[in-house]
Amino acid sequence: MLDVTGLNTITDEGLASLVIEEKGVEGIRELRHLRLSGLNKITDEPTIKFCTRNRCLTILELCRCRALTIAGIESMIKALPCLKKININMIPKIKVAKMKDTLESKPGLEVIQFAMRNVDLKDNGLRVPLPRKSKKKKKKKKKGKKK
């Protein structure tokens, strides 16, 4: 598993460098679980390259990777024959309904995407929301004298 969640400084070049073979050093291969959640700067091309080099990926988490497109996600799904689960939550541009044909070609694929309303684009997903306070006021009991 490779988890680089929340490392916003990772760019396309940084992701591409993980798969390039240089001076006898092999890039990452045969990875089964990749978590790139929160990497706002990465785009389709290096992510697709990473996926084609790691065709054994079974879990791909791309939550909050807002620069990715539907075409890129579809290419990744097609490039990964072993893919069982993909998390594309909190990517406003991606609509599962528009990827219907691609998803039908992979019947066992679990796609995670929650309905999004009023999304805070500055939210990195790491903060915990405060519990809501109840608006109902409790009635105070009147203290009476005991006889």
Give pLDDT, residue 25.
47
Do 29 and 3 form a contact (C-beta atoms < 8 A)?
A: no
Q: What is the pLDDT of residues 112-128, one digit of tens each?
A: 887 655 666 666 666 66
Give pLDDT, residue 13.
87
Name the more confident of 25 and 86: 86
Domain assignment present for residue 143? The answer is no
Which residue range is the domain that position 55 belongs to?
Answer: 2-112
Specify the number of domains making up the chain.
1
pLDDT at residue 60 is higher than 90 = yes
Q: What's the CATH number where 13 sits?
A: 3.80.10.10
pLDDT at residue 83 is higher than 70 = yes
**pLDDT range class, residue 147, cuts 50, 70, 90:** low
Domain assignment present for residue 15? The answer is yes
Those residues with Cβ within 8 angstroms of residue 95's Cβ, 6 or more apart along the chain or in another chain? 70
Burial of 106 per CB tally in 10 Å (0-12, 13-18, 19+): middle
Tell me the average pLDDT across 119-143. Answer: 64
Threshold 0.85, pTM exceeds: no
